[in-house]
Structure 1
Amino acid sequence: MIKNQAIASLDPSKLSVMAKPKRMSDIFASSAEKVGDITITTATPPYSSEGPTLPFIESNTKPSAGSTKTGKKRKKNSHDSSTAPKKPTQPESLFTIDPALYQPWSLLPVEILKLLESQARLRATENVVPVVFTRNQNVKSGINRLKMYLGAYRNPNSSIEIPDALKQEDVVIAVSAQGQGTTKLVSIVDMVRRIVAPSAKDVGADEKVETWWMYTTLASVETERKLNKPTEEASHEAVHKSGETQDSEEEAFEPMDIDGPKDQGYENLDGADRIRIRTVPVLTVWMTRKKILAFKQAFGEQSLAVRLVQQGED
């Protein structure tokens, strides 16, 4: 009775709010929806500057023209430096060796040559051994050659050939060089004189020493060099570079006869190229076992003591 009165005393509006108890399956379903909502909201972490969560910002701006040009320029420079041809370490010879150096008797004064030929003292290649040195001559090779010709050096494995003229008793070794090669010749001959000379202990001992005689002659030959003739455009450019642009000053000076022709010492080739003719000095050192009186009177005489190599000695 009391229970019924209490129920009746309740507010009907509150009774409408109170719903019926739900089933367990409905409760689990509703809890799953809430959990899903929580997972979704927490899946995306807040922005942070640490770790791999930094956002990737893609630049929409294009590279500047200056940077692209600089990159290309660097690449071009590296390519040019790797493919640039190397400069030669040694300049090429401007003038070729004159054939007269291989016939040194032809460079002698005519009177002396006729006298020696009449005396059968110079018989061309029969008793003359020509040796020609250039400015690029290897010093060691030149020394070994002269030592072997003088009998102070022997090497069975050497590539140096022994001429038949060395077998003659009156053999003459003629060492020649032209132009800048003369300095190399003087150096080699001076070193050979010191190397082949007997030492103090060899004098008076059983060592065999032989005396040679040296004569130094000086001559000259004309050599030719082909040159490209400069064009008129190149000549005008050279004038502008040197600052000579005033026609009035150029007209004030006229060539004189004493200066000679402009192309003196040159010969034209087909109007495009020129040949330069130059007189080059030739130095020849004559070495022989027997004295040559005509050489002594004309050029002077020097002695050369040579310690001959012994049997079984290299």
Structure 2
Amino acid sequence: MGTHRRLGGYRLLDEIGRGSTAVVHLAMDSFGREVAVKELQDGFVGEPEARHRLAREMAAQSRVDSPYVARLLDGDLSGERPYVVMQYVTGFPLDDLVESYGPVDGVRLPRLARRLALGLASVHDAGVLHRDVAPANVITLGDRPTLIDFGISHHAGAEQVTRPGMVIGTPAYLAPELIEGGRATTASDVFAWAATVAFAATGRPPFGRGSLHGVCFRILRGEADLDGVDRRIAGLVRAGLRREPADRPSARWFAGALAGLLAEWSGTVTEGHQVTAA
């Protein structure tokens, strides 16, 4: 234990994730609790833009309050090693879980879909766009999902600057308007939510795998493969994958629709309360 590096008041135990500019560590706080600490890699510590992105991530995550979204706990952006501290979420990324154990089936699927919709609705209620809802960013334990990684999130009213041809997010889950160079909106997050639910149900990205060009072509043409998705869920997924952003209901609406479906499915209203379809 003595050889573990410290950052602020946190003991870094193990690397659990690595992106283009930052590393995520499993760490321990002064009370012995496990947390996740994200710090900039050595080559980016001196880059103002990298620090700005980390600050933006911290600001976005701090506004969201949901049991289905990883909580921001702490952070220090002014020191030599800027970092943010987040809730350490137990479970497996949804893509790894499905790859290892197969699709999410039975009543577990609408439960997972509803909870993820509730988490996304809380993100949107806070005035934040996640911009990278995808199976890799949904940590799952049983049928309980937790949305993580606000690395490319935005305040909904913030200016969005991307270079021509630049794709932001996970390509297989991008809404068509983003592929065409449009602005990210809550509707583009909803599209990614629906594509993620389709993946959970089938084990396949709904617009296939292969070349970026081919996947984007199928997204633009609306060629979603929902074969194998339970018909009770498939209609909702199709609504989330509609070509026009204005035609997609909100994440809060989907949470309500799924609450009704779950009540029908199991004969009881889940978790002791009804969620409205507002």
Question: TM-score when scaled to structure 1?
Answer: 0.22
Higher relative contact order (CA 8 A, sep 6+): 1
Question: TM-score when scaled to structure 2?
Answer: 0.23
Q: Which has the larger radius of gyration?
A: 1
